Amino acid sequence: MNSSYPVISTKDALVVGSAIEAHREQTKTCGGFDDSSYLHLVRVRACREPFEEAALQALIVDFQATRASIAGSPGSLSSKKNEQEEEFAALAVRMTNELPTEALQDPDFWRYLSVFKFRDYICAIESDFSPGRYGGQGNKNLIRWTLIRGLVWGLHCKFGDDLTGIYKARLVKENLGLGSEVRDFYISHLVRPEWAKSPDAGPAFIDAAMADPPLFDRGKEFRPSQYLGSRVSRVSRNIYFPSLSKDEVQDVIAIERVGIPAKPIMESE
């Protein structure tokens, strides 16, 4: 245990990331990349809370085991990418309980995690290791960094210690035999919107959208979840969500769900 955590600068992360991408282009995988000649680029940054490398490593080992299980299970590539991203979202929530807040708020720590600890995962779900995935272009568009997007996904979907919101949309969709692709649903409605930062708003949106019959978009022509998202965005400008109780937030979003068809009108007749 020590009072400092590992970081890597934007410039140095780009050096490592570019080498990883070159390796991926040559071998079609990020696996097998030797990072030993880049470890000298890692620095440490002091923090007030203790940083336990063993705690981080234990989380990573658990995540790798879960990823291996997903990879070996039946299902489409799209489904497996969804599941991996869900599992990282859950892992990221666990990280907030076990790692120093200062580290978790430091973009350079997330760069370090991206290029040294989670590059295989990033390559697996993104199909490349471009600079925008890990912060190689500076501190802009943090929400688009793969790992930070996963962190926000987890934080905006959890209610207390309940993490089922992270997985709920995919499970509902699979149970209906409609496939497994829900990544756009989460990114559009739980990761990006400002209102989703409010406690309980994310889980309330998921519950409303997944209430029977659930709202699943069908291409660009029929997008009921987008309609619900637009309604919630509008109402959030007039109602301060953080001041509401869990039940009040649920009621507000449930009311916005009323009248939104789950199927195109022609199919409903």
133 and 8, same structural domain? yes
257 and 181, same structural domain? yes
Tokens at 33, concatenated: 């990349």
130 and 176, same structural domain? no
Secondary structure (DSSP) of 173-240: HHHTTS-S--HHHHIIIIIS-SGGGSTTHHHHHHHHHHSSSP---BTTTB-HHHHHHHHHHHHHTTS-
What is this structure's pTM?
Answer: 0.93
Helix (H) or strand (E) holding 159: none
pLDDT of residue 73: 85
Read off the pLDDT of residues 90-146 as tens digits, 9 standing for 90 and up: 999 999 999 999 999 999 999 999 999 999 999 999 999 999 999 999 998 999 999
pLDDT of residue 265: 53
165 and 46, same structural domain? no
100 and 172, same structural domain? no
13 and 144, same structural domain? yes
pLDDT of residue 71: 86
Domain endpoint, select from 122, 157, 192:
157
Domain endpoint, select from 124, 139, 157:
157
Alpha carbon distance 155, 163 (integer Å): 9
Q: What is the DSSP letter of 163?
A: -
173 and 76, same structural domain? no
Alpha carbon distance 67, 150 (integer Å): 15
- Between the alpha carbon of residue 164 and those of residues 30, 171, 207, 233, 259, the distances in Å are 30, 10, 11, 23, 26
Please list the alpha-helical segments (H only) found in 2-44.
Answer: 10-27
pLDDT of residue 88: 97
Range of the domain at 71: 1-157
3-class SS at 99? Answer: coil
Tokens at 12, concatenated: 């140095």
Residue partners of 95: CB distance under 8 A and separation at least 6: 56, 59, 104, 151
28 and 69, same structural domain? yes
Q: What is the pLDDT along the chain (269 residues), one digit of tens a residue?
A: 678 999 999 999 999 999 999 999 999 999 999 999 999 999 999 999 999 999 999 999 999 999 999 988 888 888 889 999 999 999 999 999 999 999 999 999 999 999 999 999 999 999 999 999 999 999 989 999 999 999 999 999 998 899 999 999 999 999 999 988 899 999 999 999 999 999 899 999 999 999 999 999 988 889 999 999 999 999 999 999 999 999 999 999 999 999 999 887 555 44
As for how many domains the chain has, the answer is 2
Burial readout 43-69 (b: 16 or more C-beta within 10 A, e: otherwise): eeeebeeebeeebbeebbeebeebbee
22 and 147, same structural domain? yes
pLDDT of residue 269: 41
114 and 242, same structural domain? no
Domain endpoint, select from 116, 133, 157:
157
95 and 39, same structural domain? yes
- In 3D space, the residue among 193, 189, 252, 198 whose CA is nearest the CA of residue 224 turns out to be 189
| Angle in degrees, CA 228, 234, 239, rounded to 5 | 115
12 and 103, same structural domain? yes
